Structure 1
Amino acid sequence: MGLMPGDHSSYHLVYYCSGHGYGHATRVSAFARHLLSLDPPPTVHIVSSAPKQVFTDSVAVGALYRNADIDPVIVQPLAYRVDRQKSVEVLQSFLRKKDMKVLEESQWLKDIGADCVLSDAAFLGCLAAHQAGIPSVLISNFSFDSVYSYLSTPFIDAPPTPEPDLFDGLPAQVAMALPPDIPISEETLAPLVDEILSGFRCADLLLRLPGAIPMPSFSVLPGLPSPSWVDLNTRTFTEEVITHLKEPPSSHLLHPCTEFSDQYASKSLPRTAISAPLLVRSPNPSVYTAEGRRRLLNIVGVPPYLHNPEQIKILVVSFGGQVFRKPSSRIHSRSPSRAGTPGAFASAMTKSLNGIQREVALSKPSDLSKEYFPDPARLAAALRSTSLFDGPASVAASPGLPPPKPMTTGRASSLKIPGAPPVAVPMSPPNKFASKSPGKLSLPALHTIPPSPVLAREVKAQDTYPGWSSSVEEENEEDLPRLLPDDTWVAIVCGVSKEWGRENGEELPPGFYVAPRDIYMPDLTAVADALLGKLGYGTVSECVDACTPFVYVPRPLFIEEHGLRLLLESEGVGVELSRSYYEKGEWADAVQEAYVRGRDAKAKKRQEGETGKRRKEGREMARGLLDWLDRWKAGTRAMDPDPQAEEDTADIGHDNE
């Protein structure tokens, strides 16, 4: 009996998700949820080398998960650096097993009765669907043929300059451990890239996400190699490429479809490329309320007197998907620092519920459990094992927005951020609000070394902040790295394990807090006034959705970043922070600049709250995809290949161009 139009309950969709980075997983999980929200819903299988827990949102509502090695990965020794040679070696190893893997996956697709493959952005899934005689859909803002092709760019990604006086020799060892950055020849890359390209050429439909770069497996122009797309002088896409990306993909000249083998019928619909809406995980609506914000910050461990958004601003530091290295034993103290309570600061960092007022935690455990901890038993155990903090619920009137000043300190230490070299960290006095909290933990005894002068930023503070006349000489203060603009800011660091910091002392400066590993990032991004991290789709999309200004450290060898920069320019706020300033701990000016540029949009977003716009767009995109599959199954050619057809893309979503 044939499938009736609009009856999608019998459809089996297989979603192949690249294991490279959490951005793929977050949007795959988001779109799987949209598909499963339809009535009736299809069956959705997710296949990925990424761990099951990153798909928790969709698995919780019925998605089926299978772990499989279905794509190679770009090797990144640091969050923003690519090892070209090892990346090519990983690709070569994967391609040697490609034919066997395609055979295994295509047989599995037949065994489960799959109707269609979705891919983000694993070319193996498209190849397996082709061999199984079913259609495939590429849902992405880029494809890995372009990424691997870009490894031939003549741009040299030099390692950080060692400054042993500042870090006691540790960055020198980090730099020495990094291999020299040597471009891979086009002759070496071309046949490897062609194998990836041929896989994506099997896809029948492209749903191009915002933040896109050219898709050479669909559009005839611009073609590979991808280094030709970038102007080395400006480090941006050429004008021709930018013009191409501003056009709706349905207007582009496309490569023809790759027909099935003779054992299957001809493909029933023309090859099509369409703009899709932003796929992003939505925050919980309650996080935009005072109560929801308070709950989230309690869980992070931020004391209540720092919860008022009119008085305190929050910087979230996240280099998603990277390993947070523990402090090295090579970082040692050269001189004593102020006394602290041994172990107290480490306890504050490692206990995820530190900071929840006792009466709140014990009277409303169900609320906390429901919104942030899926397992109530885990919450109860955390409450039993956590030293809860009781502090005042309010602070004095807002001091306003004082001009940024150097942090008054005479010592410096180092801070490890996920996947990155050590960051220069100044020891500063307690936050000026600390005196209002008698119960506040005392400062840790951080390992310190003598101060080192820091270079001035390219943009003078007087140019950025009119009226600011304070100077180091006037204040008689040391020139040291400034992580935060002033003491009305706190920082929340993501990606650290609960055991971090126990072995080698306390490494976080005052005003810094550690988020639990399982914190729901869209909620944290929503409460943030700025976010610092690497350029990746997951972080960019969540910042755009929450109107959170993004301070990003560039990844010059990962070509996707050029499309994401364009997205930030058109839909959000992005401020680049060079690696040298990031590693020196000179974050403050970039953070302040991003905050000032984005604060009006952020205030408006906080006032309107979570509107459900992204969920609505995602459901429309999901419904349109299944309608397209209906037409495929019916053997029609109903989708008009004419560019004008994109104006009617209620079928798939909406045009973001």
Structure 2
Amino acid sequence: MPKNKSSLKMSPRQRVISKPRNYVFCYYVSGHGYGHATRVVQVASEILSLTRKHTLYIISNAPQFIFQGAINLGAKYRHALIDAGVQQPRAYTVDRYKTIEDLKTFLENRPEMIDRETAWLKEVKADIVLSDAPFLPCAAAFATGIPSAIVSNFTFDAVYNGLREGDDLDITINRLVEQVVEDYKKSELLIRLPGYIPMPSYSGTQLYPDLNVSVKPKLLNNGCSSVTNHNNRRNVVDVPLVVRKSKTPRDKVLSNLDIPKEIYDTHKILLVSFGGQNLVGIEDWGNPLPNGWIAIVCGDPKIKLPEKFYVCPRDAYIPDLTNAADAVMGKLGYGTCSECIGHKKPFIYVPRPQFIEELGLKRLMEIQGSSVEMPKEHFETGKWKNYILKAYGMPGVCEDVNKRLTHDGGKISAKLLENFLDNRVVTQRKSKNTNGFPLSKGAVAQLSYI
């Protein structure tokens, strides 16, 4: 029976796209802090919400409950140690010696871990590895023969480099970071989130913080964008804010914390997102809050808190609390910053000079939100009042509507990744020597750049 004439006129790309595949995504997530996990939930949920029925695995040593939103949509969780992370005695300090010792031990076990992950990726028939932002999964994907993409605002090679202080430890740091950079170089694509810093494995990103820099896909004559492969040039695509939004009305959120209505109706609310481990000594501070304020503390602290302080459960949905608050206090982490911007809340932060990621996040807050810096000495002695009042007088959001980032970075990332795989299939069928992977115009039409 002769083929339909119209099908004969279709290009190889059109014939493949007319029979779209369902892909297997393997999303590796650092267990260092919850910020990686919370934004991965958003991107993973968007992938699972696409029209096609993709399979998605989340691999992390972060606890499973953080990923529950994506698991509810079908994500499969696998607990595994896949990164060395950073050792932080407190939310705003780094133990550089222990961090580098852990990295050294991790890299000594790298061959065995690569073999383990390669075998598992083959077992689940993975099509792509996503990383936020461990380096080893990029090497495992390369060894398996599949692509990998980093979805993050920073990579850990930059973090480890930021721990150099001009002493003998720097020699070890430089040696170890060389291997970390090489593993990241095996990725084919960087989906760069707002609040980024330079990423040593991607040339061109070192130009930050030049405000004129924006790394964009090259547009072809047909209006499509081009992503090139690992053997030629690796591309950076900037996306808008990936942010979780509140789901529960304010009154219900506060009532569930056993805060009386007559209290939350007559008081301003400070959300303290450090957790209880950083409030040791609070019994000696007096009242650190301005008159007419109460505080909600995240992290279920195991210490006695003073009057006007309330505790939220360990697994509380933080965007609901952020939306219910009038100001937020914490560290410069991606999850906190994005959720403050997304809910128009001013932010009081204690700096972390040893953690280089905060340079990009500080800039993000300056452009897109409102922030006040509090010295750690004032935080640790309860001298909060002036900082809280200063923050409360700020808008919490970029006042120039034309300069605001949109909040659909998760949706755009999901569609971009799906199109990346579609076009990779087409390109591989056409020729092994073809370098360009054209992305459909729709996948990048809404891209915003910071």
The alpha carbon displacement at 1:137 in A equals: 0.4
The alpha carbon displacement at 1:241 in A equals: 3.5
Distance 1:210 1:570, change over 3 A: same
Q: Which residue of 2 aligns with 1:145?
A: 157
Secondary structure at 2:51's aligned position in 1?
Answer: coil
Q: Which amino acid aligns with 1:278?
A: L
- CA contact under 8 A between 1:631 and 1:637: conserved in structure 2? no
Instruction: Tell me if 1:592 matches 2:384.
Output: no
The alpha carbon displacement at 1:520 in A equals: 0.7
Q: Distance in 2 between matches of 1:7 and 1:39?
A: 13
Q: Which residue of 1 aligns with 2:209?
A: 242
- CA contact under 8 A between 2:229 and 2:437: conserved in structure 1? no
Q: Which amino acid aligns with 1:553?
A: V
- CA contact under 8 A between 2:147 and 2:188: conserved in structure 1? yes
Q: Distance in 1 between matches of 2:239 and 2:284?
A: 42
Q: Which residue of 1 aligns with 2:419?
A: 627
TM-score (norm. length: structure 2): 0.86
Q: Which amino acid aligns with 1:61?
A: L
Say which one has the larger Rg.
Answer: 1
Of 283, 296, 308, the match for 2:246: 283
Moved more, 4-13 or 622-631: 4-13
Instruction: Tell me if 1:316 matches 2:267.
Output: no
Instruction: Tell me if 1:528 matches 2:321.
Output: no
Q: Which residue of 2 aligns with 1:492?
A: 296
Q: Which amino acid aligns with 2:89?
A: P
The alpha carbon displacement at 1:131 in A equals: 0.3
Over residues 501-535 of structure 1, what are the superposed CA-to-partner deviations in whole Å (9 max), with x where a residue is unaligned?
5xxxxx22221111122211001001111011111
Q: Which residue of 2 aligns with 1:548?
A: 345
The within-5 A match list for 1:427-466 is: 427=286
Q: Which amino acid aligns with 2:259?
A: V
Q: Which residue of 1 aligns with 2:147?
A: 135
Of 423, 447, 450, the match for 1:654: 447
The alpha carbon displacement at 1:100 in A equals: 1.1
Distance 1:108 1:626, change over 3 A: same
The alpha carbon displacement at 1:185 in A equals: 3.5
- CA contact under 8 A between 2:60 and 2:81: conserved in structure 1? yes
Of 248, 256, 262, the match for 1:305: 262
- CA contact under 8 A between 2:25 and 2:129: conserved in structure 1? yes
Instruction: Tell me if 1:192 matches 2:176.
Output: yes
Secondary structure at 1:40's aligned position in 2?
Answer: coil
Identity among equivalent pairs (%): 40
Instruction: Tell me if 1:274 matches 2:237.
Output: yes
Of 285, 290, 295, the match for 2:252: 295
Q: Which amino acid aligns with 1:247?
A: V
Distance 1:535 1:8, change over 3 A: farther
Q: Which residue of 2 aligns with 1:229?
A: none
Q: Distance in 2 between matches of 1:602 and 1:270?
A: 35
Secondary structure at 1:525's aligned position in 2?
Answer: helix
Q: Distance in 2 between matches of 1:550 and 1:246?
A: 26
Q: Which residue of 2 aligns with 1:393?
A: none
Over residues 203-242 of structure 1, what are the superposed CA-to-partner deviations in whole Å (9 max), with x where a residue is unaligned?
10010000000111112563xxxxxxxxxxxxxxxxx641
Distance 1:297 1:420, change over 3 A: closer
Q: Distance in 1 between matches of 2:245 and 2:446?
A: 17
The alpha carbon displacement at 1:6 in A equals: 6.5
The alpha carbon displacement at 1:184 in A equals: 5.4
Q: Distance in 2 between matches of 1:142 and 1:483?
A: 34
Q: Which residue of 2 aligns with 1:483?
A: 288
Instruction: Tell me if 1:214 matches 2:171.
Output: no
Q: Which amino acid aligns with 1:483?
A: P
Q: Which residue of 1 aligns with 2:277?
A: 418
The alpha carbon displacement at 1:639 in A equals: 4.3
Distance 1:426 1:185, change over 3 A: closer
Of 356, 369, 377, the match for 1:580: 377
- CA contact under 8 A between 2:424 and 2:437: conserved in structure 1? no
Secondary structure at 1:585's aligned position in 2?
Answer: coil
Distance 1:78 1:583, change over 3 A: same
- CA contact under 8 A between 2:154 and 2:357: conserved in structure 1? yes
- CA contact under 8 A between 2:217 and 2:237: conserved in structure 1? no
Of 311, 324, 331, the match for 1:514: 311
Of 128, 131, 145, the match for 1:116: 128
Unaligned segments of structure 1, at least 5 residues: 155-182, 223-239, 260-268, 325-416, 428-481, 502-506, 606-612
Q: Distance in 2 between matches of 1:220 and 1:297?
A: 46
Q: Which residue of 2 aligns with 1:467?
A: none
- CA contact under 8 A between 1:152 and 1:184: conserved in structure 2? no
Q: Distance in 2 between matches of 1:12 and 1:276?
A: 22
Over residues 550-577 of structure 1, what are the superposed CA-to-partner deviations in whole Å (9 max), with x where a residue is unaligned?
1001111000011000000000011011
Q: Which residue of 1 aligns with 2:71?
A: 59
- CA contact under 8 A between 2:23 and 2:55: conserved in structure 1? yes
Aligned length: 418
Distance 1:576 1:8, change over 3 A: farther
Secondary structure at 1:249's aligned position in 2?
Answer: coil
Q: Distance in 2 between matches of 1:190 and 1:110?
A: 33
Distance 1:426 1:20, change over 3 A: closer
- CA contact under 8 A between 1:424 and 1:585: conserved in structure 2? no
Q: Which runs of 4+ in 1 moved over 4 A?
A: 6-9, 256-259, 424-427, 636-640
Secondary structure at 1:137's aligned position in 2?
Answer: strand
- CA contact under 8 A between 2:216 and 2:237: conserved in structure 1? yes
The alpha carbon displacement at 1:8 in A equals: 5.3
Q: Distance in 2 between matches of 1:563 and 1:209?
A: 10
- CA contact under 8 A between 1:9 and 1:43: conserved in structure 2? no
- CA contact under 8 A between 1:7 and 1:40: conserved in structure 2? no
- CA contact under 8 A between 1:85 and 1:184: conserved in structure 2? no
Distance 1:184 1:424, change over 3 A: farther
